[in-house]
Amino acid sequence: MRELRAPAKLTWFLEVTRRRDDGLHELRSEMVSLDFVDRLDVDETGDYLRLEGPFSAVPLDEHNLVTRALALVGRRAGVTLHKIIPPGGGLGGGSSNAAAILRWAGGVSNEVAQSLGGDVPFCQVGGRALVEGVGERVTSLPFEARDVTLVLLDFGVNTRECYQAFDELVQRGEKPQGRNHLEAAARLVEPRLGETMDWLAATLGDRVHLAGSGSTLFVEGHLEEGVETWEVLGPEGLVQFRQTITTPREA
């Protein structure tokens, strides 16, 4: 049995540079790995995918990125996925799971990894990097130790709808701005996100940032001493705070 780590990724900033003729969006962003990690137990003699953790909605069929990553590298294995990174929150949990399999199999090119999703090339590299294009251009940057407080919500934001809303805003003449060009679009797609961001901003001011297309939010630094996680009731449901740190690339 081989144990693999799959760290969450955090999009530190995100700029949408252009929309291509094929409908994909090119980005320029900084991504960092976090000490918030799924674990994969890989049995090289097996042929199964099992899930342990609180997220029963994660598919375990051919659509799961672990299954797709195994198919991509032409390998079979039994994989038990111990999942703590919430799906659909913009932290790249599924992409990092796939990247862990790619690293285990010896790695693939960024272009091949990108066929599984735009975050997979970075997750295969990890650490801290400038990510450009549709995710295939990854330039490693020197590691910087940073404290981070994640704000995890009990709903997600549909990424496809977020980019559609972004395009509609641009067509109306609005210019993307701020640290995350998708924030205005994400708030349109999921009004509960905007309500929660405004609620947090009343206490934390402009320290609250959107991670990717959401729904995860984050604050630079730690908000409490001596505690890792806590929950409060926000205006649109339960809000979990999780304090973590950035981590170097996996060995």
* Active site residue ranges: 9, 119
| Long-range contacts (CB closer than 8 Å, 24 or more residues apart) made by 47-51 | 47/76, 47/77, 47/78, 48/78, 48/79, 49/78, 49/79, 49/81, 50/78, 50/79, 50/80, 50/81, 51/80, 51/81, 51/83
Is residue 150 within 8 A of residue 36, CB to CB? The reply is yes
- CB 20: neighbour CB atoms within 10 A? 10
Is residue 5 within 8 A of residue 100, CB to CB? The reply is yes
- CB 98: neighbour CB atoms within 10 A? 27
Which of helix, strand or coil describes residue 163? helix
